Amino acid sequence: MFKKFTLSIVPILLFLVSAYSLFVDYEIILPEPISYSDTESAEAHTELNPVVEIKRGIWFRIDYISFLIKELESEILPIDTEQEESIDKLKRIIIGQRILFFVIAFYMALCFSAFISQFFRAWFYLTLNRLVFWLGVFWALQELFLHIRILADGHLWGAAGVVFFLTTFILTIFAIVFLEKGKSESMTFETLKHSSSLEEEGRAPQANANSSYLKLLLHFLMIIAVGILIGNFVYIPLFLLQKHYVTEFTMFIFSLLLLLSGFYIYNYGKVGGEKSLTGLQNTLVSIAYLQFRFLRNGFFGIFATVLVVFFVTFLFSILILNIDLIQTNTGLFQKGSEF
């Protein structure tokens, strides 16, 4: 009973931790450095300690910075070089804040997916819950130390934060232990597991015995023609749209992403849905599975990018080393430059 309760409540607690970070933030203010040349001033500042100041969270910071940018870009104010530099700095700051906001929002959605996948024992629940729980352990521990500092400063409301984050930290540790012990239990939605390894989500490609070189050539020409059409009528307009209409382009891409996600959720429910569950339950698991695919493909993409960058850098390093060795030992390039 305690195991089931812990595995169910921990994603909800971690969801609250991430939501708390969106609306509330803290800043540790260090004491200003003082000179010890004056004995009296040194003794007066011996009790100085870092102070934790409460501030508004990411949501409010994004709104406030957007307001500042809008006011600075107003036609009423005179335009000078320093003002333009300030606007550029604020735009860079708001980009970072928005990225952080979407990362936290994605983690909140990940908590929902972890809860759903664990509740229905979907085959991918181990991966999702491990990621959510381990990130939650470090997040709750960080917030716990921060609220202990707040309580030490004499703010009694910090005690509520200490109790909440300490409880979250302890229950998350228990949840990780229970999760690893239940790896051998039966799982559901095995069809999604097998269909994910096939092309077109469950449709295995079949060999065509009537294929010929002429058909391959026609297919190649059709691919080139479709690529030219897409490049001229899709890619170029999209490039011009994102260049001149940033807000509209963002809304357009976000709408397309939602439509594509809905299409995949529908297909996942049809291909791998469990007959013993209702349509709503299969849809909820399909949403969790879509986020699992986002994570897996994202990790594979980042890993492949790192490998490609490392491989190209390694090849260029060897090439530069060989050029230096040839030039040092033979002077070939110096002789070639004489002609």
Mapping DSSP onto H, E and C, the string for 296-316 reads HHHHHHHHHHHHHHHHHHHHH
* pLDDT at 43 > cutoff 70: no
Residue 222 domain flag:
no
Q: What does the pLDDT read at residue 56? A: 75
d(CA 201, CA 279): 19
Q: Which two tokens stand for residue 326?
A: 């040839």
Most confident of 24-33, 166-175, 208-217: 166-175
Name the burial class of residue 337, with classes exposed (0-12), middle (13-18) and buried (19+) by CB atoms within 10 angstroms of its CB: exposed
26 forms bridges with which residues in the sheet?
Answer: 54
Indicate the DSSP class of residue 79: P
Q: What does the pLDDT read at residue 205? A: 46
Sequence-ordered list of residues with C-beta below 8 angstroms from that of 202, at least 6 positions apart, any chain: 191, 194, 195, 271, 272
Whether the model pTM is above 0.85 = no
Q: What does the pLDDT read at residue 199? A: 45
* pLDDT at 201 > cutoff 50: no
Q: What does the pLDDT read at residue 316? A: 80
Q: What does the pLDDT read at residue 32? A: 64
d(CA 251, CA 270): 29
Q: Using 50, 70 and 90 to split pLDDT, how confident is the model at 202?
A: very low
Q: What does the pLDDT read at residue 163? A: 92
d(CA 179, CA 133): 10
Instruction: Tell me the pLDDT of the chain averaged across its residues.
Output: 77
Q: Using 50, 70 and 90 to split pLDDT, how confident is the model at 164?
A: very high
Q: What does the pLDDT read at residue 30? A: 65
71-94 average pLDDT score: 69
Q: What does the pLDDT read at residue 168? A: 92
* pLDDT at 122 > cutoff 60: yes
Q: What does the pLDDT read at residue 339? A: 44
Q: What does the pLDDT read at residue 329? A: 64
* pLDDT at 219 > cutoff 60: yes
47 vs 140: which has the higher pLDDT: 140
Q: What does the pLDDT read at residue 326? A: 66
Give the tens place of pLDDT for each residue, 168-188. 999 999 999 988 887 766 677
Instruction: Domain count for the chain, please give it.
Output: 1
Residue 218 domain flag:
no
Residue 163 domain flag:
yes
97-122 average pLDDT score: 88
Q: What does the pLDDT read at residue 166? A: 93
Classify each residue of 198-208 as buried b or exposed e, where b means 16 or more C-beta atoms within 10 Å of its C-beta: eeeebeeeeee
Domain that holds residue 130: 1-31+48-188
- CA torsion sign, 105 to 109 to 112 to 113? negative
Number of H helices, E strands in the chain: 12, 2
Give the tens place of pLDDT for each residue, 224-257. 888 888 878 777 777 777 777 766 777 878 888 8
269-277 average pLDDT score: 77
Residue 96 domain flag:
yes
Q: Using 50, 70 and 90 to split pLDDT, how confident is the model at 333?
A: low
d(CA 101, CA 320): 42
Residue 206 domain flag:
no
Q: Which two tokens stand for residue 100?
A: 């952080």
Q: Which two tokens stand for residue 251?
A: 């809304």
Q: What does the pLDDT read at residue 28? A: 66
d(CA 171, CA 9): 8
